[in-house]
Amino acid sequence: MFDHMLSILIFFPALAGMLGFIVSKESIRAYGITVSAIEFVLSLVLWYGYDPSVAGMQFMEQFALVPAFGINYLLGVDGISLFIIILASFFTLIGIASLTETRRVKDMIITLLFLQMTMVGVFAALDAILFYVFWELSLVPMLYIIGAWGGPLRIYASIKFFLYTFTGSLIMLVGMLFMAYFYFQATGQWSFSILEWYRLVLPENLQLWLFVAFFIGFAIKVPMFPFHTWLPYAHGQAPTIGSVILAAILLKMGTYAFVRFSLPLFPDASVFFMVPVAVLAIIMIIYTAMVAYAQEDIKQVVAYSSISHMGVIILGTFAMNVEGISGSVFLMIGHGVVSGALFLLVGVIYDRRHTKLMSEFGGLAQVMPRYATIFGIMVMASVGLPLTINFVGEFLSLLGFYSQSHMMTLLAGTAIIVGAIYMLSAYKKAFFGDVTKEENKTLKDVNKKELVALIPLVILAVWLGVYPKPVLTPINNSVESIVQLMHEKAITPEAKAAIPNPAETKIAMASVTEVEVDVEREAE
């Protein structure tokens, strides 16, 4: 049954979405929950069937789509993509389950199911064109979600979101076509398979150009510093469910693509651009953290803090060693859980008060104790408190980058302190002090439906913070093979030196994880 597991995972929600047109309006929510629960179970089955000791691709599927042009339907997962796929199905389930009263709820749920198809497709595709198909297709449902259910500026926000990403990915497409052409020149065969591209060693000047072309596409999606302006609009206008999916999964497409495409395809260019990218990432971390501090709107605080943490992911990715990349992949999961949860929490209070301004709140901890507790745990997770999920990822990312540059790591580290400041001060403004507004005195605490969505996230955030091993080991294995590949492919001496050979450094890594486990035991 595992032969077509990934195809089932991709197309089951889409098929269910199409059948959903027939389901009556009253029952559509139950239908959506059922479908996404089945999908989540299927993704757990995928995890069950996944062999963590194997570093390479598993559950591979292939058939030729356009053989004359080398386009294949090629799927597979490794430790890097596996958990993001599970996260995607998990968040779709939580998103649909916690969906509050929505206009045209049927359209919303069908759209979400189509969105899920594209999300799983992006992370499972191993053919560049197939990847591009899902990558672009994911824009359409999100455009609709922001544009149809968003705030007053929703149309502007949705167009900006769409055009920004669309432009970037078209440049990336040209890069992909060049890559395929170079492959054709080298082998006489057209191919868009990433695995076959991995075997191609390009001269450095070509790598630089192609790196830039891919970088534009990915950096807009992440979004990295000068290209980030679409995201605050998108988050500001999107409905809760849109923000949750956007922050938890869609942004990960960009960082995932860096690990999947940029690093292994262009190792020399990656090393060449390591410092500029790291500088951008650090600007992104510090600048957006400061911007977050200046926000009045609690959703914007969460949005900017989410951009800020994406900077740490980029930094870890461009550390070029196993610790850094593993950490950044783990941080993708952690960031997904935490920022998804924070957006859900903001949605909870928005449903009650229909405002997101922090000045309207204050003293909520007295009125809504359970809500304040959960929010508090998630804020702690967001600032990277030890024993929470983000700590593991951030620590490993920064540790990885420390071996490349001490100064820059230090700078990035200070930003985490800034992060703690703005998150905690936002928390203080909203939850502590006296209840100043009359409306806030009668607010209801989180209800059962919201708890069903939030409790699993809390458990996840703590569990993976305390015991990250089941997730970290498969990630680590796959990342090792990618770093190995990069090390072997690198042609310039600088790149060889910057990318350590994991076979030699493995011992060091093992001791690091042990230390961490020790720390956790003490804390327990």
Partner 1 sequence: MLEAVNVSFGELNLATLAPMLIAIMGALSILVVDLAKSGLHKSLYVMVSLLFLLLDFGSLVDFAGIFTENGTMFGFFNVMLMDGISILSQLIIVGVSMLFIPLALTSKRFHEYDYPEYFSLFLFMIAGFQFMVATDNLILVFVGLETASLALYTMIALHNRSKSFEAAVKYFTMGALAAGFYAFGAMIFYAISGSVEIHTIAEVMAADGFSNIGYASIGSVFMLAALGFKVSLVPFHTWTPDVYEGSSAALAGYMSIVPKIAGFVVVMRLFEFMVHSEVVWLQVILYGGVVVTMTAANIWALVQNDVKRMLAYSSISHAGFVLAAILIGTTQANTALFLYWVLFSFTNLGAFTMLWVNRQKHLLPGQSSDHPYEKFAGMIKIMPFAAILMGLFMLSLAGIPPFGLFWGKLYMISSAVTSGYTVLALIMALNSAIAGYYYLKLIIFMFMKEPVIHGVHEYYMMNASLSLKTIIGIAAFATIFAVVTVNPLIEFIATLVYNSGY
Binding site residues, partner 1, CB under 8 A = 64-69, 107, 129, 132-133, 136-137, 139-140, 143-144, 147-148, 154-155, 158-159, 162-163, 166-167, 170-171, 173-174, 177-178, 180-181, 184
In our burial notation (b when 16+ CB lie closer than 10 A, e otherwise), range 133-147 reads bbbbbbbebbbbbbb
Smallest gap from Cβ 305 to partner 1, in A, equals 29
Directed axis angle between helix 322-353 and helix 369-383, to 10°?
150
Q: Closer to partner 1 at the Cβ: 155 or 294?
A: 155
Count H helices, E strands: the chain? Answer: 25, 2
CB atoms closer than 10 angstroms to residue 196: 18
Q: Closer to partner 1 at the Cβ: 117 or 472?
A: 117
Smallest gap from Cβ 156 to partner 1, in A, equals 10
Q: What's phi and psi for 296, nearest 5 deg? A: -95, -25
Smallest gap from Cβ 238 to partner 1, in A, equals 13
Give the ranges where 403-447 is alpha helix by DSSP (H): 406-431
Smallest gap from Cβ 15 to partner 1, in A, equals 14
Q: Closer to partner 1 at the Cβ: 216 or 312?
A: 216
Q: Closer to partner 1 at the Cβ: 163 or 294?
A: 163
What is the rounded CA–CA span in Å between residue 313 and residue 308? 9
What is the rounded CA–CA span in Å between residue 461 and residue 508? 27
Evaluate whether 328 touches 393 at the Cβ level (below 8 Å).
Answer: yes
Enumerate the β-bridge partners of residue 75.
Answer: 61, 125
Smallest gap from Cβ 131 to partner 1, in A, equals 10
Q: What's phi and psi for 51, nearest 5 deg? A: -95, 110
Q: Closer to partner 1 at the Cβ: 164 or 266?
A: 164
Q: Closer to partner 1 at the Cβ: 56 or 203?
A: 203
Residue type, 381: A
Smallest gap from Cβ 152 to partner 1, in A, equals 12
Evaluate whether 314 touches 408 at the Cβ level (below 8 Å).
Answer: no
Q: Closer to partner 1 at the Cβ: 15 or 174?
A: 174
Identify the CA nearest to 330 among candidates 309, 347, 351: 309
Q: Closer to partner 1 at the Cβ: 105 or 302?
A: 105
Residue 169: both structure tokens together: 């990915």
Q: Closer to partner 1 at the Cβ: 12 or 330?
A: 12
Smallest gap from Cβ 127 to partner 1, in A, equals 12
Smallest gap from Cβ 419 to partner 1, in A, equals 34
Enumerate the β-bridge partners of residue 177.
Answer: none
Q: Closer to partner 1 at the Cβ: 121 or 316?
A: 121
Smallest gap from Cβ 149 to partner 1, in A, equals 9
Smallest gap from Cβ 120 to partner 1, in A, equals 15
Q: Closer to partner 1 at the Cβ: 196 or 516?
A: 196
Residue 244: both structure tokens together: 């949750």
CB atoms closer than 10 angstroms to residue 8: 17
CB atoms closer than 10 angstroms to residue 64: 12
Query: For the chain, first and last CA: distance in Å?
Result: 41
Evaluate whether 245 touches 198 at the Cβ level (below 8 Å).
Answer: no
Give the ranges where 125-202 is alpha helix by DSSP (H): 128-137, 139-149, 154-187, 194-198
Q: How far is CA 165 from CA 85, 143, 170, 229, in A?
A: 21, 11, 9, 11
Smallest gap from Cβ 145 to partner 1, in A, equals 10
Residue 208: both structure tokens together: 């630089």
Contacts of 294 (CB under 8 A, 6+ apart): none
Residue type, 226: P
